[in-house]
Every structure is written in C-alpha cells, then in structure tokens.
Structure 1
C-alpha cells in the first residue's frame, strides 16, 4: 500500500507539474496580439503618412540588420516626397522648425525601411535607441529640439512603446549635405 501511495504521489508531482504546451502557445499568441489596442499601420495612415519601398543603400551596407529580436536600422536622411533630400545646415540655412520637419521625414523613411524588414509594424515591441545627427553650425546648440521631430513621431505612432533612449548631436557635415541623419534600434516580436 505504501508503494502505491508513493507511486501515485510521484506521478502526481511529475505529471501534474508539466506545463501544458497548448496553453503556453495560446498565452504567447495573446501576448503578441496585446501589444497595441489599435492597428499601428492604420494609425500611420490616419496621420497622413504614406510608407514607401525604401531605396537601395548608396554604398556597401544594408538598410537593416536583425539579430534575435533586435533590428539595427542604418542611418536615414530626410527624403522629400517629390524626390531628393532636405539639405543645408540648421542654424544657417535652416531654422530649428525646418530641422524638426526634416527629422519627421526621417521618421517616415525609417518606418518604411522597418516595415520592409519585419513585414508588419504591429510587431514592434519597443523603439529602444535613437541616434540623431544634425548638420549644423559650430555654435548651434538646439540639436535635441531638431531630433524631437523624429522622437515625437515615434511616440505618436507607437505610444509608450515609442519612447526611447536617445542621443542628439551636432555634426560639421553629413553625407550629401543632408540636414539630419538618424539611426535606431528596435525590439520586435518573432
């Protein structure tokens, strides 16, 4: 009788503690569905933003590199909808407000490149890190106000998940004389 009770106790402990894989999978699916209470891509469209196919890199690099759940986005410039870029130095050729608008254009370029990489922007868990570079005069000190154009757009699109760590720095020049260049790191779902 003791052996039967011991066997039943061990069986209950062993088999009773096993995770039920179907429920775990369902829970993970529910977690993935619960990232947003809205459709991110519909939100972007409602903001008047049209995402486009990102252009091919102009040198020996790629638009994005994914490792695990992190996507490292290459630096992008402020693409104008009609073609070309916003160029010039902020504080000399452009105002802070014009720099802010240029940074918003970079946000559109980055969102387009990110969508091309991951397929669905509803998979964005978090905008982790943003590195913003402003082409500006040596005495210009309002780089954060310029890069806010990018950051504000990310928060408007992704809500709390759009808030990120950030650097906003001044540069003596940027490629092709673009006004701003911004790169970012994004955490995504599998």
Structure 2
C-alpha cells in the first residue's frame, strides 16, 4: 500500500509553502508542536498554492456557499499537510490521525458545519487511507474567525519516533 507521500504524488497534489502572513502579523506559536509521539497542529486556514490566503472570505451561509466552504476546508487540509511535511520531512511518519476540530465561520442558524468539514476529512482519508486517516471530529459554527476565514481547523496526530 502506498504511503501518504506517494499518494500525494499519484494524485498530482502539490502542497503550499508556508503561509504568507499579512504585514505586521506575528504568530507566537509553532504550526506543529511535537510532544513525544503526538503532534498537535495549530489552527490552519485555507491557502492558495503560492502560500497566500485563500478566499472566499466571510460567513458560510451568507457570503460563502456550502460548496465554497467545503473547498476551503480541503485547502485547509492541504495547508496543514504542508506544515506537517515541512516539520517531519515525510508525511509517512504519521501513523494515525487522532482528532480534528473544525470551526466554521457561520451565518446565524447555519447548521451544515459537518458538511463543510467533509472537505477536510475526505482529503485526509484519500491521502492516508481508512486506517491511518480515520479520526474523531468536531465541526462547530462560530461567529467569526481570524482573517475572516470561512474555516479554521486544528488536529492531533500520532507519529513514529525519528
């Protein structure tokens, strides 16, 4: 069975470079925080292939459609995989996805947050397969997100020691 790195190549997926932050923005935390055999992945937003912020921006169910938000969640997954690849050198060091916490910038009474998060989960399962990619998940609606992102996602994975 091919590993995650091989699967990405087979799918023709190129991961984005580090996020290009807006001028003056400083993030006093790492994107990936390794503790023993766990890696805690800070909240990521969607990125374009060049590392810039990816739109559309705003609340899902208002200025962002469900399909656009699902595509943004997939872009968040690509952003996160880029951070993990830079941290570990290979995504094949990931032996299991534990949990995923998704926050959706939601219009009042928008209740399809799980459908939005499927864009992320589908990517992880496609790249890692059902055994390694399987994860517990939360999908909540929030009133606003940093940089007016429609989706922000954080996660926890198990890694093999280096």
Relative to the length of structure 2, the TM-score reads 0.90
Aligned residue runs from structure 1 range 42-121, under 5 A: 42-55=6-19, 58-82=26-50, 83-86=52-55, 87-121=57-91
What are the superposed Cα offsets for residues 133-177 of structure 1, whole Å, 9 maximum, x if unpaired?
001112100000001100010000111210100100001000010
Instruction: Tell me which of 119, 133, 151 is aligned to 1:180.
Output: 151
**Structure number with larger C-alpha Rg:** 1
Gaps of 5+ in 2: none
Question: Shift of the alpha carbon at 1:126?
Answer: 0.5
Gaps of 5+ in 1: 1-36
Question: Shift of the alpha carbon at 1:71?
Answer: 0.1
Question: Shift of the alpha carbon at 1:120?
Answer: 1.0
Structure with bigger RCO (C-alpha 8 Å, 6+ apart): 2
Question: Shift of the alpha carbon at 1:56?
Answer: 7.1
Provide the alpha-carbon RMSD of the alignment: 1.4
> Larger helix proportion, structure 1 or 2?
1
Q: Does 1:154 align with 2:118?
A: no
Instruction: Report the counterpart of residue 134 of structure 1 in structure 2.
Output: 104
Alignment check: 8 A CA contact 2:70 2:117 kept: yes
The ranges of structure 1 where at least 4 consecutive aligned residues each deviate by more than 4 angstroms after the TM superposition are none
Relative to the length of structure 1, the TM-score reads 0.77
Q: How many residues align?
A: 154
